[in-house]
Chain A
Amino acid sequence: MVTDAAILEAVGEVADPEVPVLTIADLGVLRGVRHDGDEVVVTITPTYSGCPAMDLIRHEVELTLQALQVGGRVETVLSPAWTTDWMSDAGKAKLTEYGIAPPTGRHAVDGPVMLALTVRCPLCGSPDTTELSRFGSTSCKSLWRCNSCREPFDHFKAI
């Protein structure tokens, strides 16, 4: 008998295909494990409605369940809506290490993020940075440039 905690730990190791240093546990995409009769149900939630990584994440979670010899399925839930507040501190540290500035502060409750919180350059650490575009290489990121080292970088935007 595999415990829920062991299942959570194992499937929590599935990596995000677009930001492979992060696991779905770091991201908060993994929401939980419950039981439906004899079946184990792992629930996940997308970062954005159109997130194209969800199919692969679902498939890898299913493979992990098979490896554990646990009969189960994966369910996608939309509510409560994912927020960057769920990202673990370990995940934020890994993002910086990888060259992506982690989300800053808390998400804005009403409307877009208008607060001009400083985003530190993940490469040189300078707080002197400029937003180039609010949309970046994936839905969850915006594009920035460091005014000190002049390198462009991605920022995981708070939602």
Chain B
Amino acid sequence: MNDLLEYTLRLGDDALIAAQRTGEWIAAAPQLEEDVALGNVALDQLGQARSLLQYAGSLDGRTEDELAYFRDEREFRNLQLCELPTGDFAHAMARLLYFATYQHLLYDELRSSADETLAGVAGKAVKEVAYHVDHATQWVLRLGDGTDESHRRMQAALEALWPYTAEMFASDDVVRRLSVAVDPSTLEEEWTRRVTAVIDESTCERPTSSYQHSGGRSGRHTEHMGFLLAELQHVARSHPGATW
């Protein structure tokens, strides 16, 4: 697989799988405004996924639908952070804080990529993701600095997802060879600064776990990924070629 295709799939799969999980909150969020907000966040992520998977598909002759619906688990390149089960609302906001802050830094750099398509997608997405970061930040502050129960849950969520954050910044030969890519290891310092600033202000403790999971970029996923894909793909696979 060529490096540009591999890289574009990573970004596209992150956005696609994040959209699938975020979308699970629609009609299940704690209040109506939050259903709407998370529906919009998921739609932004899905739009980014479509642009990226269309581009990936153009590089090897597949459509966005073939890439989304007809690849198996080991062919997906997304971060494990994106596929973890929904959990409670504090988990959703911890994940959005971690992931959107990463996406924001990434897209901001990718805007000046020499690859015009990647730069174009990033230039659009960075504005959308800025709203996601803001939304997650407001909730982490409110829950962390809220009641004893909301504080306890926010703390638990921040800690539970922390071991899945280092994977975002793992550098490898693909990103080092590919001059149009952003080497994610260059984003870690600023990401840590921004995220810990929010955690500190929320009165939660910074997570201390040093163990970090990895494998998503090479197609090794958690046991939750298969169930997610079954839900995402079963209609398209049951009725291949169907249109509506």
Where chain B touches its partner, the secondary structure class is helix
Contact A78 B36 (CB under 8 A): no
Does A52 touch B at the CB level, under 8 Å? yes
* Per-residue interface assignment for chain B, residues 31 to 50, with 1 indicating a CB less than 8 Å from any chain A CB and 0 otherwise: 00110110111011111101
Does B206 touch A at the CB level, under 8 Å? no
Chain B residues lying within 8 Å of A83, measured Cβ to Cβ, are: 127
Does B93 touch A at the CB level, under 8 Å? no
Nearest CB in chain A to that of B133: its residue: A112
Picked from A114, A136, A139, the residue with its CB within 8 Å of the CB of B44 is: A139
Give CA–CA (A112, B120) in the complex, Å: 19
Picked from A81, A134, A143, the residue with its CB within 8 Å of the CB of B123 is: A81
Contact A79 B43 (CB under 8 A): no
Does B125 touch A at the CB level, under 8 Å? yes
Interface residues on A, range: 20 to 34
Contact A50 B120 (CB under 8 A): no
Does B119 touch A at the CB level, under 8 Å? yes
Contact B44 A48 (CB under 8 A): yes
Nearest CB in chain B to that of A157: its residue: B131
Contact A132 B123 (CB under 8 A): no
Contact B123 A50 (CB under 8 A): no
Does A37 touch B at the CB level, under 8 Å? no
Nearest CB in chain B to that of A49: its residue: B47
